[in-house]
Amino acid sequence: MLNTFAAKFERLFDLTALESDGIRAIQIRPIYFTANQDLVREGDRATRCVIVLSGLACTSKVDETGKRQIAAFHISGDMPDLMGLHLEILDSDIRTVSECTVAFIDNSIIRKLCNHNPRLAAALWRETLIDASIFREWVNVGRRPALNRLAHLLCEVMRRMDAIGMADGLVCSFDLTQTDLSEATGLSVVHVNRQLQELRRRELITFVNGQLTVHNWAGLVGLAGFDEDYLHLAEAQHNQIN
List residues near its own copies by CB under 8 A.
43, 59, 61, 63-64, 69, 71-72, 83, 85-89, 91-92, 114-115, 118, 121-122, 125-126, 128-133, 135-140, 142-144, 186, 225, 229-230, 232, 235
Residue 219's binding partner among DNA, its own copies, none (Cβ under 5 to 8 angstroms by kind) is none
Residue 147's binding partner among its own copies, DNA, none (Cβ under 5 to 8 angstroms by kind) is DNA
Residue 166's binding partner among its own copies, DNA, none (Cβ under 5 to 8 angstroms by kind) is none
Q: Which stretch binds DNA (CB under 7 A): 110-118, 141-149, 166-174, 212-220?
A: 141-149
Q: What is the footprint of DNA within residues 194-213 (CB under 7 A)?
A: 194, 196-197
Q: In whole angstroms, what is the distance from residue 183 CA to residue 181 CA?
A: 5
> Which is nearer to DNA, 32 or 43 (by Cβ)?
32
Residue 194's binding partner among its own copies, DNA, none (Cβ under 5 to 8 angstroms by kind) is DNA
The rounded Cα 175 to chain-centroid distance in angstroms is 13
Residue 63's binding partner among DNA, its own copies, none (Cβ under 5 to 8 angstroms by kind) is its own copies
The CA-atom distances, in angstroms, between 77 and each of 3, 57, 101, 155, 193 are: 11, 11, 11, 19, 30
Q: In whole angstroms, what is the distance from residue 182 CA to residue 201 CA?
A: 19
If binding is defined by CB under 7 A, does position 147 make contact with DNA? yes
Residue 196's binding partner among its own copies, DNA, none (Cβ under 5 to 8 angstroms by kind) is DNA
Q: In whole angstroms, what is the distance from residue 241 CA to residue 235 CA?
A: 10
The candidate with the shortest Cα–Cα distance to 219, out of 172, 162, 168, 158, is 158
Question: Residue 156 Cβ, how far from its own copies at the closest point, in Å?
Answer: 13
The candidate with the shortest Cα–Cα distance to 231, out of 157, 148, 130, 139, is 130
Q: In whole angstroms, what is the distance from residue 73 CA to residue 68 CA?
A: 14
If binding is defined by CB under 7 A, does position 186 make contact with DNA? yes
Q: In whole angstroms, what is the distance from residue 242 CA to residue 238 CA?
A: 6
> Which is nearer to DNA, 9 or 207 (by Cβ)?
207
> Which is nearer to its own copies, 35 or 72 (by Cβ)?
72
Would you put residue 206 in left (φ > 0), alpha (ψ -120 to 50) or beta? Answer: beta
Contact (Cβ atoms closer than 8 angstroms) between residue 76 and residue 98: no
Q: Which residues bind DNA (CB under 7 A)?
A: 145-147, 177-179, 186-191, 193-194, 196-197
